[in-house]
């Protein structure tokens, strides 16, 4: 899995949909103040990288994204428990965010304030940020399958896709056509 380090994985482009044209923005991150009192050390910027015709792809609804994410978290937690891989508390905490009155979005909590997220958007964002177990030393990628590689790969892929679809649903739901 290519998301182990900063900059890994696919490029994410934000499409700002206009009447006949869409502006395409790409984000870039760099380290800022490593001694920030709230540990917000990343500086982010977005660069206009081009324009295109508005895309017709529609991401999953918030309800569908939450349902798929919940299912993926249930399955991967069961596998983690069976192969004694640990991580079930992480998956359980992510699932709790999907129904929490005050979901924990961790480092990304302020995004919901700036974007005026609904409760459901905050719940899904909390589940995504808590349930993101891919990348870095000691992550889910390093756990191994304990003799069940097919199930490990299937549930890992299912969770990865559900997390990506969920964050896209949250972002897309913040756009009012």
Q: How many domains is the chain built from? A: 2
- Residue 4 domain flag: no
- Which phi and psi angles does 54 have, rounded to 5°? -55, 135
The answer on 122 and 41 residing in a single domain is no
Q: What is the pLDDT of residue 163?
A: 94
Beta bridge partners of 52: 22
Name the burial class of residue 98, with classes exposed (0-12), middle (13-18) and buried (19+) by CB atoms within 10 angstroms of its CB: buried
The model's pTM is: 0.75
Q: Which domain holds residue 86?
A: 62-173
Under the banding of pLDDT at 50, 70 and 90, the label for residue 29 is confident
The answer on 154 and 136 residing in a single domain is yes
Q: What is the pLDDT of residue 7?
A: 53
pLDDT (tens digit, 9 = 90+) per residue, 100-150?
998 887 767 777 777 888 999 999 999 999 998 887 666 787 777 778 889
- Residue 5 domain flag: no
The answer on 160 and 76 residing in a single domain is yes
Query: How far apart (Å, rounded) are the C-alpha atoms in residues 47 and 13?
Result: 10
Q: How far is CA 60 from the centre of its chain?
A: 14
The answer to whether residues 169 and 58 touch, using CB atoms and an 8 Å cutoff, is no
């Amino acid at each position: 899995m290519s998301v182990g380090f900063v900059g890994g994985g696919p490029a994410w482009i934000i499409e700002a949909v206009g009447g006949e044209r869409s502006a395409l923005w790409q984000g870039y991150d760099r380290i800022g103040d490593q001694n920030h009192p709230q540990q917000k050390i990343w500086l982010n910027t977005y660069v206009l990288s081009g324009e295109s015709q508005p895309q017709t792809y529609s991401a999953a609804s918030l309800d569908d994204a939450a349902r798929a994410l919940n299912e993926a978290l249930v399955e991967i937690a069961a596998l983690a428990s069976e192969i004694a891989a640990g991580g079930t508390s992480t998956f359980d905490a992510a699932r709790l965010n999907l129904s929490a009155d005050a979901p924990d979005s961790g480092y990304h909590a302020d995004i919901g304030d700036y974007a005026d997220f609904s409760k459901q958007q905050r719940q899904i964002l909390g589940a995504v940020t808590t349930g993101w177990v891919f990348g870095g030393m000691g992550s889910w990628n390093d756990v191994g399958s304990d003799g069940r590689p097919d199930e490990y790969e299937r549930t890992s892929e299912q969770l990865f896709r559900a997390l990506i679809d969920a964050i896209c649903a949250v972002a897309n739901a913040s756009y009012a056509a």
